[in-house]
Amino acid sequence: MEKHRGFPGRLAGTDFQFTIRRDNKDGATPLSERTRYPDRRPPDRRADAGFMQALYDQFGEEPFVRGNLDAGRLSWLFGREVIPAEDPFDPASYDALLRLDMKVACVSFPELRER
């Protein structure tokens, strides 16, 4: 499992996890598309926005390996802002390639910005 050095482990000041420390001996948790309802709690929306900003800051529009990125947090963005970058795609692999769909990301997260 590739560890993304410099990627924040969690949203600052919260317990919202962005990365995992070690791989699961039973295999990676499969990524799945989770529905984000408009009435989600503000802290959850801030965690999504913070994770999306961290992905953009770390990888930009280039494909990246899933590695130690948290499956739960990725699943909130998967299928919309984060899409597979390879075909066939294995949602249960730490080596799966992903990429950001910036058109969708900028609509979903208008505060997303370059640093």
pLDDT tens by residue, 31-63:
999 998 989 999 999 999 999 999 999 999 999
Domain-located, residue 8 = no
Is the predicted pLDDT of residue 97 greater than 90, yes or no? yes
Mean pLDDT of 87-93: 92
* pLDDT-derived band at 103, boundaries 50, 70, 90: very high
Is the predicted pLDDT of residue 115 greater than 80, yes or no? no
Torsion 39-31-53-80 (CA) sign: negative
Residue pair 59/107 in contact by the 8 Å Cβ criterion: no
Structural domain span for residue 92: 42-108
Domain-located, residue 37 = no
For the chain, what is the domain count?
1
Domain-located, residue 59 = yes
Domain-located, residue 9 = no
Domain-located, residue 34 = no
Domain-located, residue 14 = no
